[in-house]
Structures are given as C-alpha cells and as structure tokens.
Structure 1
Amino acid sequence: MNLKKLSSLLGLSQTTVSRALNGYPEVSEATRQRVAEFAREMNYQPNRSAQRLATGKSLTIGHVVPVADHDMMNPHFIDFIAGAGEIYHRRGYDMLISVVSEDEQNRFYESLHRNKRVDGVIVHGPTVDDERVRLLNALGLPFVVHGRTKDPEESYSWVDVNNEEVFEKAAEYLLSLGHRRIGLINGWEFMTFAERRRAGYERALRKNGIKPVPELMYSNEMIEPNGHAAMLALLDLRDTPTAVLCSSVLTAMGAIRALRDRGLRPGDDVSMIGFDDCLSFLPSTGDGGLLTAYRSGIRLAGRQCADMLIDQIEGGGDNASLLLNAELSVGKSTRPLECATAAL
C-alpha cells in the first residue's frame, strides 16, 4: 500500500497523512493518532526516501567506534547494538556504525554533522575526561552517552549503571561472609565506569576498617585472558585473597579458569562475584548457577539509549538521564570464609 491509497481510505489529503506520520506540529493529536493507528492496521510502511525528503532528516543514528589498544567491538558492545537496533527498527531509524582511528574521532563527528549523515549519535566507552561531550554540545548534534564522564551530569544526556554503589554493595556482601582480603579485577580505569567501581570497592573496605592494598587491584581490558592472568598473579602473592570482584563476566570466566589450573574451586577455595552476566551468548550464570553476579542487562541499556536519543531528536527539550540498578543473583561462587575447604 502506498501513501495515496492510505490517504484515500482515510479521507484525508496526502499532505495531511504525511505530516501526521512524520510528527509535524500543525497536525492535531487526534488526527495523528487516527492516522498512526490506521497505518498500523493496514501494515503501511512509509517510503524512507520520501520521509527523508519530507522531514529533512537522515533517519539514521550513528555509532562511532574508535580503534585503540582496547577494543570496543566486544560481546558487550554487540549486545548493546542488538538492543538499540530493536528500537531503531520499531521507530523507523537506520543505524550507521563507523570504525575510525582514535585520533580521527573528532574530525569524523564534525563530518557526520556537516554532511547530515546522522540525526544523532550514541557515545560509547566514555573516559573520565572525555572531550567528545564538549565537542558534540558545541556542534549541536543530539547525542546520548552510554555511561558518564566527569562533565556536569546535567550538561548531556546519559544512561548508566550505578557502578560505584554496585561495587560497594558487592564488596560489603563479601565482607559479610567474613572475607577481609578481597581482590579486584577491574576494567581500564581511565574509563569512568571502572573508576567508579574501584571507588565503591575501596569505600566498602575503608568503612569496615580495611586499608585498600594496591597489589590486590588489577586494571585492564575486560576479556577472558586478562581475567586469567590477573587471577594467577593474585594466587602468586604471599598473602592471597580469599575473595575477588570481577568487573565483567568475561574476566570472571578467565579467573575461574586460573583457579582450576591451580586445582582450586570458585566458592570453596576463593569466593568470586562477577558483573554483567546477562549476555546473549552465555547461559544465565546466576540464580543458583556457578557465578554469583550483579546483573544489569547490556541489551536493556541499548534500548534505553536508543529511545532517549530518538525522543531528543524528535522532541528536543532538556537533557535526560537514567541511572540503572543491578540486582544480586547468588550462585555457587561465594561462600562464608569459614566454609572454605582449602587454605591457600
């Protein structure tokens, strides 16, 4: 069905129907709803090229992925894109993923804006001092940050997990089980999420009269081999930790492999908590599974960022923010210290 046929059945002009479908303010809300509902009933799919001409918009959302020593193209990113893609499809937008060198990022954002290739962008992997926020605000290009920076939080739109609180609670849970020497296998700490996670972990220790020990903390890219290497290093210490916090289920998998390499078992010998175990390529690890984890679905974050950005593109208005929570799912990898079956 084309626009002409749809307009005829509605008894409205093609111009009115087009404007109703594209959200023009001069069309009444009642007419807009009537047209939208009838279009859904008739399974009408608007012509994208015509929409772009009518609205002056590209109907495309940009994702700029920098090539660096750490790789954003990991399973977390893929799950995020899957969630965002669901919203783009539902709301009539396309997706543009561009992989650029790290030193070309700013010029590439400027090019996207100048050439009107996208209506907005989602910023990935924010660092503590991230110039992209200031650049995009100066350009006037709508954007949402997946995470936060040190810029004033009201100066941009963002969706984030309460990382500091989650890792404070995770450390407190291990402390409540009697553990006092707790390791941290973290992500890169020039990225804001990892800095906040370390801050939460350290705050929990200090609140319980325990001084944080640098030799128990590791910071690296969150991939399985790095979790394996960090856990081996922790096990080689003279005074080994009895529990470990991992910033990703991927590093937790590597840490578990390291324990098994040494003939040890998660939970029985070293308690372990992971984070972000809701990944599509892995079976659930919580609710009585192997890994105790704080759960915060990355796909959900993708949906939230996409909806927030499109609302901003279509409606304008003030910046928005959303702080997501994470829930503890207790598995077999945590036990009270006195229940340990082996002294390391």
Structure 2
Amino acid sequence: MRSSAPKLADIAKAAGVSIAAVSIALNKTGSPRVSAQLRERIIQIAREMGYKPNELARALAEKRTRLLGLVVPMRDPIFFNQFIAQALSGIQSALMRRGYNLLIFSPTGKPGRETRDQMLESRFTDGIIFINTRSCTSQDVNKTIDELQRAQIKFSMINSYYGKAPINYVGVDDAAIGQAAAEYLAEHGHRQVAFFSGSATLPGHQRLVAGLRKGLAGYGLDLPQERIGCTGYERAEGIRILDTWFSTKRKRPTAIFTADDQLLLDFYDYAEMRGISIPGDIAVLNRGNTGSSDHLRPRPTTFTIPTFRMGELAADLLIDTIENAGVLPQRVFLPYELIPGSTA
C-alpha cells in the first residue's frame, strides 16, 4: 500500500515517460505535444494510482481558478426559496461533474441588481451565474447584462430575460405558459379568470399577462385589470386583493391562475381562512417548480418549470465558454409540463 499520494514522478515512472509529458497530459488537454493515445494511457495510469491534482497547480497551469460565482439579488434568505434551492442543486450537479467550485455572493445593495463590490469580487472567479429573482425588474436585468458585458466578465443568466442580447441564458417561455393556462381554463368552462401575481414590474409577470390575454382572446374572453392582483409578496395585500374578488358571488372569478408556488401557498391559506372550497368554490391552476407543491391537498394542477435543469444547463453553458473561446453564447428556453391535479 502506498504511504502517500502519488506524484507526477510516480506516474511518469509507471508510464515510462517524462514528468513533463505527464504534466502536459493531465493539465493541458489541448496540447499537441502529447498524442491522444499516450494521453489516454497516462490518464488511465494516474486514475489507477489514485492521483488527484493539486487544484492550485492546476489553476495556475490553466490560468483559471475553476471557481464560479453565484449572484442571487434577493434580500430574503435564498435557501428557503424553492426556485433558488432547485436551481442551485442543478448548478452544483454540473460543477461537481466538471470539476469546479462555487462562490456565493450575498446581496448588499439594491435588490435586483449586482453591486459594484460583487462586480469587483467576481474577477477572482472564472465567471458568474446570475439568477434573476422576484426583485429584478426589466431595467435591472438589462443594466446587469450591460455592466457585465462592459466589464468583460463571462456569465450566464437564469430566469426572466426576454431581450435580444447574445448571452448564455436559460429560462422558460412565460408567455407560452400564460397562453396555455388560459386555454386550459377556458376549455374547462371558465369565463371569469383571475391572475394572482407578485409585482407588475417583473418581466415574468408581464409575459404571463400577455400570454393569458392572448389565450383568453381565442375564446372571446378577456382579463380585465381588476382581475390582475399583484401582492408585492405581502400577505396583507394578498388578503385585501382576494377579499375584493370574493366579496360578492356575482363578481368573483371561477378560476385563479397563481404565478408561483409562494402565491399558491398564500391562496391555500386564504381559502382555509375564509372557508372557500378548492375546487368546489374556485378552480386553481399554478405555475410552479417541479415537485415543490406535491404535499398540498388538494393536489394542485400545475404547469411545472424544470428548475433543476435550468441551473445545470446554465452552469454547463458558462463552463463551455470559459474552456473554449470559440463557443458562442446560447439562449435556451426549456419546455414546461402540465402536471394534472385535482384543483382545475
């Protein structure tokens, strides 16, 4: 049994090559100085001997830190947020597979924007992953992209960007989700549809509204402004909006579409508080993260977003551009899925 970790000299001796050849094979994968066949043999010997590269030496050889930054501009604790937690799990999966580590930047300035300190700190990483949250307006997102590009920082972005800048981006088509939700509810006989949302300034909200109106219009229906409720994620405001909608039977909606899992939970709490039956008194359709509302009863009918895959793919796209200067940025809209429940 070997008493200490194998060194490059040990691998070189076993392979019958120079230490320089071993170093090139393990650290400079694109170098023509070692043939592909010899490189594979050296890597196999290193693997059998249990060799683990010194990360600092590897970083110096590659002129990279193998460290990515994560920026989540939200004042609330991010790990309690299901969307962030699932995206982070996907990011971690990609980084473990590709040999990178993660540095998380905590917000210190205006929510929705990267701070100047974070911009400076991110220079110690090979690139950053930026997750747009419910704090990010369209102006915030565009400003962040502009500043990152001018600073020549490699990055990828997740969620709620619908502009045309050539960036690495992973998200879903919220307009398509809104349209599909409207068509689903209309086909199930609903004529009075309401939209329970967070903030009118959010890009996702605006796209969902546009999609809902387009889908309803195909059935000769509309979504008037008074049936669009933005709570600002404040419980008291949500109760006020819902009390307005449910004050009289004549004006109350027959179906509600909730913009995310937090708003769905808020509505379930309201329905229990006011003695409203789901789906007896009101149908509920949700846009949410995969699996995050499985514990709710009645089980909600949900358009699910592949949040884990969003994080995983965003990390892979960023690493691809870091490791290969010729790789062009990609914008990917992942498919959503309708998960049947008993609420709509």
- State the TM-score, normalized to the length of structure 1: 0.84
| 1:1-344 equivalence runs, <5 A | 1-4=5-8, 5-27=10-32, 28-68=35-75, 74-103=81-110, 105-113=114-122, 116-125=123-132, 127-129=137-139, 130-153=142-165, 155-221=166-232, 230-236=241-247, 239-279=251-291, 283=294, 290-316=299-325, 317-334=327-344
Distance 1:277 1:160, change over 3 A: closer
Distance 1:35 1:191, change over 3 A: farther
| DSSP 3-state at the match of 2:186 | helix
| DSSP 3-state at the match of 2:71 | strand
**8 Å contact kept, 1:7–1:13:** yes
**8 Å contact kept, 1:231–1:259:** no
Amino acid of the structure 2 residue aligned with 1:196: R
| DSSP 3-state at the match of 2:120 | helix
Distance 1:149 1:63, change over 3 A: same
Could you list the runs of 5+ residues in structure 1 that have no partner in the other structure?
Answer: 335-344
Amino acid of the structure 1 residue aligned with 2:253: P
Distance 1:149 1:71, change over 3 A: farther
Distance 1:290 1:308, change over 3 A: same
CA-CA distance at 1:19 after TM superposition: 3.4
CA distance in 2, matches of 1:211, 1:90: 48
Distance 1:23 1:194, change over 3 A: farther
CA-CA distance at 1:197 after TM superposition: 1.4
CA distance in 2, matches of 1:75, 1:160: 16
**8 Å contact kept, 2:178–2:209:** yes
Larger mean Cα displacement after TM superposition, 100-109 or 293-302: 100-109
CA distance in 2, matches of 1:102, 1:225: 26
Show CA shifts across 1:18-44 (max 9, x none).
Answer: 333344421454455444555455543
Amino acid of the structure 2 residue aligned with 1:266: I
**Between Structure 1 and Structure 2, how many residues are aligned?**
327
| DSSP 3-state at the match of 2:124 | coil
- State the TM-score, normalized to the length of structure 2: 0.84
Equivalent pairs: percent with the same residue?
Answer: 24
Amino acid of the structure 2 residue aligned with 1:9: A
**8 Å contact kept, 1:66–1:100:** yes
**8 Å contact kept, 1:10–1:35:** yes
Amino acid of the structure 1 residue aligned with 2:101: D
Distance 1:291 1:31, change over 3 A: farther
**8 Å contact kept, 1:232–1:258:** no
CA-CA distance at 1:332 after TM superposition: 0.6
Amino acid of the structure 2 residue aligned with 1:91: R
CA distance in 2, matches of 1:214, 1:255: 19
CA distance in 2, matches of 1:67, 1:240: 34
Amino acid of the structure 1 residue aligned with 2:117: F
CA distance in 2, matches of 1:44, 1:234: 66
**8 Å contact kept, 2:154–2:318:** yes
CA distance in 1, matches of 2:151, 2:31: 28
CA distance in 2, matches of 1:21, 1:321: 32
Distance 1:175 1:244, change over 3 A: same
CA distance in 1, matches of 2:50, 2:232: 46
CA-CA distance at 1:141 after TM superposition: 1.1
Show CA shifts across 1:202-258 (max 9, x none).
Answer: 211222222321111122455888766654443236601100111112211221221
Distance 1:55 1:271, change over 3 A: same
Distance 1:276 1:38, change over 3 A: farther
**8 Å contact kept, 1:79–1:279:** no
Larger mean Cα displacement after TM superposition, 51-60 or 175-184: 51-60
CA distance in 1, matches of 2:89, 2:338: 24
